[in-house]
């Protein structure tokens, strides 16, 4: 069964999935199966193993991952048993609403980067460039931290090997490109053992935890809080903010919306447009705009 798991992972990764969690889950099941001398997926063993999860959601997730694998290998060997999908009660996954930053709020955060030390270091300029770039492009944090000098190109940013193992070219607004070039003039003068675009003040590649702590500290100084049950904003909220502001500028005509959504989905690096449409239902401001347009259309007015 071990070789079947590895072949399954290779097959699915060839389609663009990274599957690190899936690999960990399946290899965990292999251990208990090996202890019992079982060469095939067994329902009783699977349920007992899944119950070892740290939460109800985790238990259900473990069994769902194993169930997909079992369905795959049963095509060639029916000795693998089918995992019942209702073995655990359904778990409602809470997806908190995003914290949408206004332009004035991000300006506050950018201005506060001037307070970052140590004096004479590139740190203040680095964080001002990073937070501005995230707000202006909707980049994922991991995508930004992987940027190197070679990724800054005349046509924009080259985003390599993204979340779905795809690369994409990211055009930049002239003002964004100018701000990035101002940072590059200073960054090129630094002597460092890495070509990473963004460095810590110790001239090492910047890590995600430091980036988040600095962002939340500046937000707290600006009086900016998180959304819903979250006490603090997340860096990913800048990505949400970019998407929402882009959609707010969209034409109300159906064909215009569809073209805009497809372009935005491509720009954000979403695997499918439905991931981008999520912003419509999760953002009250956008929903109100849709409702108002529908009211005008139903009353005979222009949308």
Which residues are catalytically annotated? 140, 163, 236, 239, 270, 279
Specify burial of residue 107 (Cβ count, 10 A radius: 0-12, 13-18, 19+): middle
Specify burial of residue 193 (Cβ count, 10 A radius: 0-12, 13-18, 19+): exposed
Residues 6+ apart with CB under 8 A from 280: 247, 286, 287, 290
Write out the two tokens for 125. Answer: 């300029």
Estimate the crossing angle of helix 273-282 against helix 236-248, to 10 degrees.
Answer: 80
Beta bridge partners of 169: 158
**Do the Cβ atoms of 128 and 90 come closer than 8 Å?**
no
Is 36 in a helix, a strand, or coil?
coil
């Amino acid at each position: 069964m071990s070789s079947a798991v590895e072949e399954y992972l290779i097959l699915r990764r060839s389609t663009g999935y990274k599957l690190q969690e899936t690999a960990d889950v399946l290899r965990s099941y292999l251990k208990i199966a090996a202890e019992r001398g079982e060469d095939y997926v067994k329902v009783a063993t699977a349920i007992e193993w899944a119950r070892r999860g740290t939460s109800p959601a985790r238990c259900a997730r473990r069994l769902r991952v194993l169930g997909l694998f079992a369905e795959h290998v049963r095509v060639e060997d029916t000795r693998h048993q089918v995992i019942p999908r209702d073995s655990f009660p359904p778990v409602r996954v809470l997806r908190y609403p995003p914290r949408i930053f206004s332009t004035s709020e991000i300006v506050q955060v950018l201005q506060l980067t001037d307070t970052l030390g140590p004096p004479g270091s590139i740190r203040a300029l680095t964080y001002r460039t990073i937070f501005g770039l995230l707000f202006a492009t909707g980049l994922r944090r991991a995508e930004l931290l992987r940027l190197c000098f070679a990724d800054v190109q005349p046509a924009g940013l080259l985003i390599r090997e993204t979340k779905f193992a795809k690369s994409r070219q990211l055009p930049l607004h002239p003002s964004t490109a100018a701000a990035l070039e101002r940072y590059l003039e200073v960054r090129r003068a630094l002597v460092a053992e890495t070509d990473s675009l963004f460095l810590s003040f110790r001239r090492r590649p910047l890590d995600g935890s430091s980036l988040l702590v600095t962002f939340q500290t500046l937000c707290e100084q600006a009086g900016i809080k998180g959304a819903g049950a979250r006490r603090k904003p997340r860096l990913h909220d800048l990505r949400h903010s970019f998407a929402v502001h882009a959609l707010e500028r969209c034409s109300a005509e159906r064909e215009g919306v569809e073209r805009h959504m497809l372009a935005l989905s491509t720009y954000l690096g979403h695997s499918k447009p439905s991931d981008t449409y999520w912003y419509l239902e999760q953002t009250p401001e956008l929903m109100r705009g849709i409702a108002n347009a529908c009211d005008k259309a139903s009353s005979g007015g222009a949308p």
